Amino acid sequence: MNQGFHMIDVGGKAPTHRIAVAEGRIYVGTHAFELIRQRALPKGDVLVLAEIAGIQGAKTASQLIPLCHPMGLDQVQILTELETEACAIRVSCIASTHAKTGVEMEALAGANAALLTIWDLTKMVEPDLKIDGVRLLAKVGGKSGLWLNPAGVPEWVEDKVSPKPAQTLKGITASFITLSDRAAAGIYEDKATPTGVALLEYLGATINGTHVIPDEPVELTRLIKEIQAEGTTRLVITSGGTGVAPRDKTPETIAALADRVIPGIGEQLRLYGAQFTPFSWSSRGIGATLGNMLIVTLPGNPKAVREGIECLHKQIPHLINTIDNIKHD
């Protein structure tokens, strides 16, 4: 049976922060370009009206494109740049939202609406106009994460969709522990450790040590006590052993060692992870303190490790500073 056209059902998806950037150019010729530059077109200031029209175009994309989902936008920004040598105006549209689907069409609709408005205001002085190079430059959000146009994007676009993070973990010394029977035996490649270490270093942390051990509570207890005794590690991230398999005992092991368990850390990790997969709710990860160390237990999947660190990295310095205000025997 041919079902015909239909909108994609996004009801089962969780909302995520999404950004899209689109651009295009309109070539207007020498005479019209000078009038636009001087803001002297007979119909008025084309650049101002193009900005307004672009915002309106992005907001009404679903009314123009039949299968486009109606979207509540957080922000729309229209940028115009005069390119003297080409006698062209480059228009960029940035659209952002927290939603279940992307904002690519809104960004493209905004760019096109701005370009067509420039055409409308310019045609009486120069009918030979050309719109060219309309394309999606970048998008971020949802399971697919970050996408940059392989033909290249301006640096400001990359910064917009993938801003360089503040060094939130600068000055914090961290140890990373992977718990995996197969990885410890050398029959499975440990991908969690390089993923976690790379992100921790990216955020400014100093890595004090990495360890791959079996899913053995005794082994984990011994290692945690050794790290504590060494005295320089402030943050311990574990990966693995947070599920419901018989040998998944990382949360219980850490809870038995801890001075305090921090229930909110586990709750926040599960809530954050549920944006990407419902299986996040089956993870039993926790946060805890031991002496002057903060311990966070993450799942063994490298993607979950990345998401967990992304979820908590802004809170970790606050938690460690709070620990420093607690007297320990």
Which positions are annotated as active-site residues? 120
- The answer to whether the beta carbons of residues 247 and 215 sit under 8 Å apart is yes
- Which tokens hold the place of 244? 């419901």
DSSP of 146-167 = -EE-TT---HHHHHHHSPPPP-
Q: In what order do the strands lie in the sheet with 147-148?
A: 75-83, 88-99, 16-27, 130-140, 147-148
Longest dimension (CA), the chain: 82
50/19 Cα distance (integer angstroms): 21
| Alpha-carbon dihedral 252, 258, 260, 261, rounded to 10 degrees | -30
Pick from 287, 250, 245: nearest CA to 265: 287
